[in-house]
Amino acid sequence: MSEQTTAQRRAGLLVLVWAWVGLPFAYGVYELVRKVLQLIGG
């Protein structure tokens, strides 16, 4: 395996891991804001 292939594979894995953590986190923040606005707005 060449250096470039290893770097590309690592970058792809890094993007996948960030998406695995970031997407549920973003959805949780979205739901939190929605419920807070619902609570405040009545």
Ranges of each domain in the chain: 1-42
Q: How far is residue 16's CA from residue 24's CA, in Å, rounded to a whole number?
A: 13
C-alpha to C-alpha distance for 3 and 39, rounded to whole angstroms: 53
Q: Which residue has the tokens 């549920």?
A: 24
pLDDT in tens, 1-42: 677 798 899 999 999 999 999 999 999 999 999 999 999 986
* Summary count for the chain: helices (H), strands (E): 1, 0
- The model's pTM: 0.69
Give the Cα separation of 14 and 16 in Å (integer): 5
**Residue 1 has what pLDDT?**
61
Coil, strand or helix at 24: helix
